[in-house]
Chain A
Amino acid sequence: NAGVTQTPKFRILKIGQSMTLQCTQDMNHNYMYWYRQDPGMGLKLIYYSVGAGITDKGEVPNGYNVSRSTTEDFPLRLELAAPSQTSVYFCASSPRRQGGGTEAFFGQGTRLTVV
């Protein structure tokens, strides 16, 4: 059972380059999330989606874009990479349950360095 799969695991980008971080889940979860993790800051929500075709901004969306064309996939796009986007990125998903209260399942992360 694969769960949440992120690719790539590592990437080095030059300033101004663009890239897409891929995320796919095979658990048929409605909700998906992108977080970034910086030392001592915990995880900050970038974007989230409550279902195919629906996305919304989180706490730190600037410089990023997302799409959700299918239930399984939730790619994160960096259009003009900046050094401030050096971070570890985590994709997560959670099921929708009546009354709420569900946990998030995380991928292994993508370590991105912008130089």
Chain B
Amino acid sequence: AQSVTQPDIHITVSEGASLELRCNYSYGATPYLFWYVQSPGQGLQLLLKYFSGDTLVQGIKGFEAEFKRSQSSFNLRKPSVHWSDAAEYFCAVGAGYGQNFVFGPGTRLSVLP
């Protein structure tokens, strides 16, 4: 069965600093990979997705992620964080009958002014 780990429960960065959120997955075949963001009291919004092809994918709000098959990783990056990026970030893998989505536990991002 597929699983997703996000090693960092909470990360704090200063505004303008770079950001990397880690995600590792376990799945026997080529996975479909996603990053979602959740602002307080809101639903989940898709940041970016990887299905196939170029392993570096661009998303909304200046985010990018790189798929590394050898490391079973799909880390999210942003070169310069804005205060509005403070939120919870979820990595997910989608696969199987019904295209089920398995989510990691999430990483909460705080941004210092």
Contact = CB atoms under 8 A, between A and B. Distances in A.
Interface in B70-110: 90, 92, 94-95, 97-106
Contacts, number: 72
B94 to A, nearest CB: 7
Interface stretch (B14-22, B39-47, B61-69): B39-47
A42 B105 contact: yes
A100 B103 contact: no
Contact of B32 (A31, A50, A101): A101
A105 B87 CA distance: 18
A74 interface: no
Dominant secondary structure of chain B at its interface with chain A: strand
A25 interface: no
Nearest to A108: B43
A73 B37 CA distance: 25
Contacts of B32: 100-102
Given A31-B98, A42-B90, A103 B103 contact: no
A41 B99 contact: no
Contact of A108 (B42, B102, B104): B42
Interface of B: 4, 9, 32, 34, 36, 41-46, 49, 51-52, 90, 92, 94-95, 97-106
Given A31-B98, A40-B106, 13 more contacts: A40-B9, A40-B105, A42-B103, A90-B43, A92-B44, A100-B99, A101-B51, A101-B52, A102-B32, A103-B46, A103-B49, A104-B46, A104-B101
